Chain A
Amino acid sequence: MSDHLIPPALIAACLVVWFVATVVSEVFGVGRLRRLDGLGILPGFRLFPSEPKDILLRIERFDAARRAVGEPEIVSWTVPMGATALLLHPEHRRMDIVRRHVVRLHQMAHRGTLDPARAPLLMGSRVIERYLASLGHPAGTAGYRYEVLRRTRDGHLGPPTFTSRSINL
């Protein structure tokens, strides 16, 4: 067939460059290459499940009374998962997208693909703020704080690896 818009030789060159970029990014772990990949076509195969660190997120709410005695309330939540997961496995309806979102930010900060000084604090706090607001949590003096914890090898919770500042809704 001769009707083409791009010569096959150029297609071959594109595919070779693309594959080499993927290999370099994957095998040699060049995070910068992935950061340059605005189209998301360098897949990032090494991210999951090769790094199954059990990172947990805990949100604590401090209202005035609890703050006085230093006893926070731990807020819990669930958000529905998507349709294809629903079709296959009803148990996964109640997956926690917000937690995944924030945990993902922290994973990326650990890998150096996001600026750890800015991203978790700004984005993570805003995500949680939005989610709590959508649940109808009262605004005002109540403050929230979130922590990221890691499960240790023996299954216990380790100390927080990140603690946000108090978030006021």
Chain B
Amino acid sequence: MGDAASAAAAMALVERLAALAVLLATIEMGLLIRLYSPGGVFGWDLVAPYRPLGRWPVMRTLSRFVYSAVGYRALLTMRVFAGVVLLLQPWSETPSLWFRAVPVSLLFATQAAINHHLVPSGANGSHGMLGVLLGTLTLFHLGGSGKDVAWMCCWFLAAQCCLSYAVPGFRKARDAQWRDGNALVALGRHSFFGGPLLGQLLRQPRARVLARATIAFECAFPLVLVLPVPFSTTLLVAGIGFHAANAVLLGLSPFLWAWLACYPAVAWAAGIA
């Protein structure tokens, strides 16, 4: 574990990487805005009956505006603006509380609004992880961005990150299809995630080796917090490779940036930085 002073530096890096993740996710959403606007396949009008905001009379009117085509454009524009402000903040000096807290809070509020809309069907793990990151950063700044708060937030993010690997890792370990590699073969053949390249790559016996390596990596990841630095560094590098491979082969690129943004906190908790 690093000292409390370096926790603040780790949080500064988390903030910039989270801003980058938000910008990429926002650009992606902006290019597909017709899908999220009313009438699109992810339109609010489809999910409204199943969401609290769509059921309460006052909120129904508000949400109809927020999730309209105009509302979504405004929301995405605000996210780009706030993300750029965070990315361009100078490293050397600490800006005022309001200057730090407002852009992050805005990003968290807009992320919560997007998650509220997409959680029933269109959200994925990266939406959840961005919610965790931006919520933690908001609490960090509202708490004064001090060393003690940075210490707590770094531990929280490190613990969430470890949980995010360990839970699916142990579930895969209990699943015979994962242990014998057939789950990866099915993934390679899957019409959404798979393709000719992946189908060739994910064949037996290679699939079994890759599946077991994935299980071992995910289950072992929490050890990053207790292993000596060379081993914990190896686990973090393996994590970057894991997400990069998922991004290139499965198209899960938003996961790469969202999880990468947690890594400075994990590295700090592991005593690497």
> Could you list which residues of chain A lie within 8 angstroms of chain B, going by C-beta atoms?
1-8, 11-12, 14-15, 18-19, 22-23, 26-27, 37-52, 54, 56, 79-85, 87-89, 91-92, 95-101, 103-105, 108, 114, 119, 123, 126-127, 130-131, 151, 153, 155
Contact = CB atoms under 8 A, between A and B. Distances in A.
B152 A40 contact: no
A56 to B, nearest CB: 7
A56 B194 CA distance: 13
B159 interface: yes
A85 B112 contact: no
Contacts of A22: 160, 163
B131 A127 contact: no
Contacts of A2: 144, 146
Q: Is the interface of B mostly helix, strand, loop or mixed?
A: helix
Interface of B: 24-25, 27-29, 31-32, 35, 39-43, 46-47, 50-53, 94, 96-97, 101, 111-112, 114-116, 118-125, 127-129, 131-132, 135-136, 139-140, 142-146, 148-149, 152-153, 156, 159-160, 163-164, 167-168, 171-172, 175, 177-178, 182-183, 185-187, 189-192, 195, 197, 247-249, 251-254, 257
Contact of A5 (B131, B142, B156, B171): B142
A169 B124 CA distance: 30
A103 B193 CA distance: 13
B47 A41 contact: no
B51 A84 contact: no
Contact of A82 (B28, B101, B135): B28
B131 A92 contact: no
